[in-house]
Each structure stands twice: as structure tokens, then as C-alpha cells.
């Protein structure tokens, strides 16, 4: 007889990363079995060390650019370097992990006939001319720039997901993630929140690219993971893409000033040239997530920064 009370077995590719490890914590907490798949290029075993001996947790060191043969009831694909420093370090590999990784995990989902989630990105919108960005906007992306390996890799992954749905009737979910931050961010990933906090805690100059007038909207990881779970648990006809992010917009200079205030740092702000293809504006329209998932962010930037600063402060103190 089938066991209707058994927990779901969920595969999380990129599970040792910042967001993947937090997702796994939520899945474990609700009673699921989790298989964490990561090649540890940007993931860190420290993020999942607390689960090492958990009876419902399994770790597989594997590069999703190569086929994977496991059993699962659901798959989350978070496997890809997500910060410019990391994805530009090996741009060919970045494109490979987005495209080949999607093909291999979609192939696994096709074999298992299971639901699969794609962690896409607001970078599919490029340097947008539409503000805020809706899911219907096709974007303004440079296909041959230094960020293209990530931007176009993620765009191609979305194409693959929707083609697998049309051609193979696969159950898919696609979320477009806007700037997310919180504990377990890699201290050297070059993302603006972690950069500013590390520099402020060390008393180093805060590196501002351009005049700091470019805007971002910052979503605390707890809110984002809640969005993941709500999207994954919707009916099969709800596929996305759905924007998940915080619609409250800040300039980068405002972020720097807030970090300096909260850390009590004596750091000064130093301007540097703005990188190629760095978007001037980034703000999600989350109307679809509000209507479809009954979801919106709850954690204000100040509260999230306080928790993130405490994490990096402890990390630097222990190192």
C-alpha cells in the first residue's frame, strides 16, 4: 500500500549556496527529505554543516553540467554563480551551468515526471527602459557584454523551461529574483550589500560605482524563500515567470549611508567608474506575486541589514 504520509524528497541544486542553504532549512523544517547538490564552486559546506548528521539530509558533490541520476519528487534549480565577480571569473562555465545545467535537470524532471523550479533573475531585464519591471517586459540586454554570460544564460534557461513544458508537458515554476541579501552571503562575492558591510566593518573606504544614483530594491532572504515555497506549491497551470523581490527602491548611495550608520563605521564613500552594463534602475512590479501567491516582502531594509551586519561581524571576528 502507498504511504500517503511520507515526506517529499526534494532535490536542491546549488543547495550549499546562500539561498539554497536557507531553502533547505525551510524544507527540512516542514518535514521533507532533501538532497543537496552542489559542486562547491561558490557554495560553502559551512552553510549546510548544521545538517550534516540530519536523517533527512543528503549531500552530493556534483556539477549539474553533467547528467545526474537520483530520485526526487520535486527539483529546485539554484545552481549558478550569482555575483558579477564569480560569474565573470569563468564566463564560459557560467553559461554552461545555466544552459547545460537546465537541460540536465529538466531531463531528470522529465524522467521522474516531477515538478521543477527555476531560480531565474532580474538580470533577464538587463538595463531596463521600463520601470518598474513587469514579467511581460522582454528586457534590454547586451548579448555580448561582460555580464552576458549570466544574463543570457538565465534567459536561455527560461526558454528551455518553457519549451520543456510545451513539448514534454513538464510541470515548471519560474521565479525572477531581484536583489536579495542576508546571512550566509559569501563575504567576497562582490555584491553591493556584502561589499558595503565588509568594508564598513573593516573601516575601509566604501566603494561606490558611479555617483550612487543608480537604484536597487533589496529583499531579505526570508521573504524570498517564502515566495519560492508558495510558488512551488501552486497548481500546475501557474508557471510564471513571477517577479520575487522588494518593490521599495533605494539609491546605492542611500544604502551605503545606511550601512555606515548601522555599523557605526568611520568609513568614507569613494566613487569609482561605473562598470559596463551596470543597470541604472532595478525595481520589481510584484503585482502578479501579490495576486497569485498572496505574497509580498515583510522585512524592512533596516531590519534586514541589522541581522546581516551581525552575521558578517561574527564571521570577521571568528576569522
pLDDT in tens, 232-291: 999 999 999 999 999 999 999 999 999 999 999 999 998 888 776 667 778 899 999 999
Q: What is the pLDDT of residue 4?
A: 41
Whether 74 and 80 have beta carbons less than 8 Å apart is answered as no
The catalytic position among 150, 181, 220, 221 is 150
pLDDT band at 3 (very low <50, low <70, confident <90, very high): very low
31 vs 276: CA distance, rounded Å = 45
Q: Cell numbers for 147, please give them.
A: 555580464
For the chain, what is the mean pLDDT? 92
* Residue 125 is among the residues annotated as catalytic for this protein: no
pLDDT in tens, 66-124: 999 999 999 999 998 876 766 677 889 899 999 999 999 999 999 999 999 999 999 99
Q: What is the pLDDT of residue 81?
A: 80
Looking at the DSSP bridge assignments, the partners of residue 250 are 216
15 vs 48: CA distance, rounded Å = 8
Nearest-10 crossing angle of helices 18-29, 221-232: 60
34 vs 195: CA distance, rounded Å = 31
Q: Cell numbers for 15, please give them.
A: 543547495
Q: Cell numbers for 39, please give them.
A: 559542486
pLDDT in tens, 15-32: 999 999 999 999 999 999
Question: Is the domain 9-318 a CATH 3.40.50.720 member?
Answer: yes
Query: Is the per-residue pLDDT at 226 higher than 60?
Result: yes
pLDDT in tens, 115-163: 999 999 999 998 888 889 899 999 888 899 888 888 999 999 999 999 9
Q: What is the pLDDT of residue 319?
A: 65
Q: Is 75 exposed, middle or buried (0-12, 13-18, 19+ CB in 10 A)?
A: buried
Amino acid at each position: 500500500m502507498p504511504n500517503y504520509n511520507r515526506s517529499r524528497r526534494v532535490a536542491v541544486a546549488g543547495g550549499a549556496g546562500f539561498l539554497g542553504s536557507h531553502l533547505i532549512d525551510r524544507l527540512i523544517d516542514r518535514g521533507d527529505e532533501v538532497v543537496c547538490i552542489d559542486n562547491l564552486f561558490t557554495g560553502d559546506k559551512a552553510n549546510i554543516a548544521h545538517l550534516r548528521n540530519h536523517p533527512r539530509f543528503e549531500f552530493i558533490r556534483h556539477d549539474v553540467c553533467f547528467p545526474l541520476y537520483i530520485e526526487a519528487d520535486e527539483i529546485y534549480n539554484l545552481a549558478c554563480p550569482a555575483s558579477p565577480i564569480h560569474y565573470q571569473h569563468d564566463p564560459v562555465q557560467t553559461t554552461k551551468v545555466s544552459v547545460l545545467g537546465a537541460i540536465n535537470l529538466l531531463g531528470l524532471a522529465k524522467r521522474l515526471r516531477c515538478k521543477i523550479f527555476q531560480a531565474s533573475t532580474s538580470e533577464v531585464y538587463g538595463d531596463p527602459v521600463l520601470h518598474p519591471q513587469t514579467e511581460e517586459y522582454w528586457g534590454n540586454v547586451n548579448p555580448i557584454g561582460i555580464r552576458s554570460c549570466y544574463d543570457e544564460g538565465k534567459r536561455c534557461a527560461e526558454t528551455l523551461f518553457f519549451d520543456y513544458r510545451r513539448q514534454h508537458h513538464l510541470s515548471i515554476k519560474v521565479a525572477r529574483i531581484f536583489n536579495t541579501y542576508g546571512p550566509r552571503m559569501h563575504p567576497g562575492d562582490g555584491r553591493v550589500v556584502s561589499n558595503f558591510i565588509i568594508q564598513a566593518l573593516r573601516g575601509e573606504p566604501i566603494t561606490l560605482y558611479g555617483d550612487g544614483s543608480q537604484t536597487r530594491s533589496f529583499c531579505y532572504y526570508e521573504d524570498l524563500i517564502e515566495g519560492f515555497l508558495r510558488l512551488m506549491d501552486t497548481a500546475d497551470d501557474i508557471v510564471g515567470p513571477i517577479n520575487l523581490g522588494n518593490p521599495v527602491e533605494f539609491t546605492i548611495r542611500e544604502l551605503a549611508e545606511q550601512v555606515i550608520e548601522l555599523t557605526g563605521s568611520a568609513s568614507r564613500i569613494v566613487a569609482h567608474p561605473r562598470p559596463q552594463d551596470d543597470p541604472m534602475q532595478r525595481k520589481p512590479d510584484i503585482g502578479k506575486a501579490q495576486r497569485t501567491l498572496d505574497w509580498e516582502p515583510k522585512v524592512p531594509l533596516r531590519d534586514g541589514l541589522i541581522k546581516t551586519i551581525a552575521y558578517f561581524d561574527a564571521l570577521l571576528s571568528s576569522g
